[in-house]
Amino acid sequence: MNTDARITNLSQPLLIVDDDRATRMLLRGVLSRQGFEIIEAANGEQAVTLFNQYRPLLVLLDVMMPVMDGFTACAEMRLIDQNEGTPLIMLTGADDLKAIDKAFSVGATDFITKPINWTLLTQRVRYALRSGQLSREVRQSRLRQTSACRIAKLAFWEWRLTDDSLHWSDDLEAVLGVSAQSIGHVADFLAVVHSDDRARAQRLMNLARQSTGSIEMELRMHTGQQDRLVRFVGERGVQGGDHALMFGAFQDVTALRHTEALVDYLALHDELTDLPNRRLLLRQIGEMLPKINTENGDVLLVGWIDISRFHRHNEALGEALGDLLLTRLAQRLRRLIFDTDAVARTGGDEFAVMFRATNMTIALDRFESVLSHLRRPFHIAQNDTILTFTSGVALFPEHATNANQLLLLAQDAQRLAQSQARALLVATPNTPSNSRFTETLAVERALHTALERQEFFLVYQPQMDLRTGNIIGAESLLRWQHPTWGLIPPSRFIPLLESLGLISEVGQWVLEDACRQARRWEQLGLALRVGINLSPRQFLEPNLFNKIQHAVTSSNVNPAHIELEITESLAMQDPTSAIQLLKRLRDTGLKIALDDFGIGHSSLEYLLRFPIDAIKIDRAFVTNITHVQADRVIVRAVTAIGQTMGLSVIAEGVETLRQCDFIEALGVTEIQGYLIGKPMEPIQIEALIANFVRPGAETHSH
């Protein structure tokens, strides 16, 4: 992407350097007729100055000149040019072999003999420009690759199975901090592997050698002062025919795993009280269920606790002390609940607990006792605050058999208690959760006919380029308008479409409709890139390629205006075939974006392998960007890699100017979010573009 911009930049001139004014005029006359911009210098020193200033596409340069001769000037320009490979052509005397020799030795790319053969001149110049471009592209992509490797802390290894010798790429020292000689043999290598990991490493290596022919392992290694976590992947060299060789890559994932652990922690804990959140609680309940011995009559209790009229306390105390009150409550709960049990903050003023007991009565007694401890005063700001609660309880195996249902039942029981002004209710088989269940059935039935009844429609959410401040794209988002239930959000029905097997049909309609819309915008002269979400299930369909092709060709849209959004998890299911499919799609000119990036797997190495054009950073990272440093670190790492690989990086869910400032400072190129606009009808997109002023720009311009 970057290289293209550089190459096609025709505003860059050619530089002609000769002390003879007549030669310069002739050269300018011939070359400017070919459409080139020309600048001139009369000696070497001037040439170097102009070179520095204009970075010409090519230099034609005489040998003999006053002030500074051509050789010196050539050498200096080559130095300034560094890795760019700009063609420097010297004008030498026809039989002056020495001069020709010297020209090459100071970095010239070619020579043209004087007197100049004018008919050949333009050919030579064109040829030099083309080969200059080629070598520049090669060099750029190599540079990009090495810096991508450096950023990813990635390097390569080779293992000769015949003598167990190991060979490492030059980056070994930079990545691991050890020299190649010191681990030139498998035994040396195992010696620096952490003793707890050594046996596993050996087993996996033996396995790779004897049967599997491939290896994938993460090992702790002590090289230098501090332990590192290193990931190795590799394969036996079959393609080249060399069976006696394993080769592959390794990557220092210490920092990555560290941030992952941190992100995991943040994603599973409440920021204020540091208690587990609902997600973690669900996981903990799920892990506990199989351990309950129901035959003995053991039970698991899930209790939902809601503070009555918490907002009153919050107003009376002020927000800071209100937060303190919640923190104290959390501390008290934590002390009341043993280690093997769980407690979580499930909402602003809502908490949940889980514990096991040997029968139902004991469980309920214990829950009552927890509540009575919570009713004791909290001493805050010289005052005693007394809280009251409503709560609900669900029991396993009595009421439900999975974590999610248990928690929902407990929550429903609490809601029911609240509506009946009671302190505590235990779930019964007909608390509202059952109506939830029947509701789902009705929704499922309605979904079967929604498509033919034309109840689906697409809305579009605008995307802005931070570098230009222009709206450059829009993501299509599916909506369902039910005649009596009204508008239903995708989070409620897309999972159902998937489980009912209806997603491919509806997904196809989305593809066709979004392509038609993109085409309509093209015809209005709006070159908008339209994003289309592909669901994991859709991605598994065998003829997805043809279906996409059909949508694109029948709408007549320029494929470059369509961006398919895929998620990591989707691509990870079968990476090899995913890569193939994405390659084919991209070959037809379509764009590919990796959606919801950051919340899934450790995706760095996949990122390097997947043929994509853009990364969409998940809203979860943007939301906290202004105050969670770990999120900033991740966003920065993604943009750095995006930059070196020439990808655009889109941040989702940008709601405030302040988030936008952070995002922009971290190197993100595009944003999408309520700050620019909510998902809207196509006609509103057109109106938005017509009157668009970049948010924040109004205040600067006055």
Binding site for ligand C2E (CB under 6 A): 461, 477-478, 489-491, 494, 507, 510, 533-535, 595-596, 619, 652-655, 673-674, 679
Q: How far is the CB of 72 from ligand C2E (least distance, A)?
A: 59
**For 259-265, which contacts have Cβ atoms below 8 Å and span 24 or more sequence positions?**
259/630, 259/633, 259/634, 259/637, 260/602, 262/630, 263/598, 263/630, 263/631, 263/634
SS3 state at 63: coil
Q: Which of 512/686 has CB closer to ligand C2E?
A: 512
Q: Which of 246/497 has CB closer to ligand C2E?
A: 497
Q: How far is the CB of 162 from ligand C2E (least distance, A)?
A: 51
Q: How far is the CB of 700 from ligand C2E (least distance, A)?
A: 22
Check residue 596 for interaction with Ca ion (CB under 5 A).
yes
Check residue 18 for interaction with Ca ion (CB under 5 A).
no
Q: Which listed range, 207-215, 320-328, 457-465, 525-533, lies at the site for Ca ion (CB under 5 A)?
A: 525-533
Distance between CA 508 and CA 637 in Å, rounded? 35
Q: Which of 297/489 has CB closer to ligand C2E?
A: 489
Q: Which of 398/652 has CB closer to Ca ion?
A: 652
Report the partner that residue 535 touches, choosing among ligand C2E, Ca ion, none (CB closer than 5 to 8 A by kind). ligand C2E
Three-state helix/strand/coil letters over 266-293: HHHECCCCCCECHHHHHHHHHHHHHHCC
Distance between CA 237 and CA 244 in Å, rounded? 7
Kindly list the distances between the CA atom of residue 159 and the CA atoms of 167, 295, 412, in Å, as whole numbers in the listed order. Answer: 6, 55, 60
**Residue 349 tokens, joined:** 């003023």
Q: Which of 197/475 has CB closer to ligand C2E?
A: 475
Q: Which listed range, 39-47, 452-460, 531-539, 607-615, lies at the site for Ca ion (CB under 5 A)?
A: 531-539
Kindly tell me which residue out of 110, 563, 565, 568 binds Ca ion, with binding defined by CB under 5 A. Answer: 565
Looking at residue 212, the DSSP 8-state letter turns out to be: I
Q: Which of 414/461 has CB closer to ligand C2E?
A: 461
Check residue 412 for interaction with Ca ion (CB under 5 A).
no
Check residue 463 for interaction with Ca ion (CB under 5 A).
no
- State the Cα torsion 244-249-252-254 to the nearest 10°: -90
Report the partner that residue 477 touches, choosing among ligand C2E, Ca ion, none (CB closer than 5 to 8 A by kind). ligand C2E
Secondary structure E strands in 339-451: 342-347, 350-357, 378-380, 383-385, 389-396, 424-426
Secondary structure E strands in 42-195: 58-62, 88-93, 110-114, 154-160, 165-168
Check residue 533 for interaction with Ca ion (CB under 5 A).
yes
Q: Which listed range, 174-182, 222-230, 305-313, 526-534, lies at the site for Ca ion (CB under 5 A)?
A: 526-534
Q: Which of 224/489 has CB closer to ligand C2E?
A: 489
Beta carbons of 60 and 20 less than 8 angstroms apart:
no
Kindly tell me which residue out of 595, 613, 631, 670 binds Ca ion, with binding defined by CB under 5 A. Answer: 595
Looking at residue 185, the DSSP 8-state letter turns out to be: B
Residues forming a β-bridge with 403: none
User: One symbol per residue from 612 to 651: x for binding Ca ion (CB under 5 A), - otherwise; what is it?
Assistant: ----------------------------------------
Q: Which amino acid is at 389?
A: F
Applying the rule CB under 5 A, the residues between 645 and 684 that interact with Ca ion are 652
Q: Which positions lie near Ca ion, rule CB under 5 A?
A: 533, 565, 595-596, 652
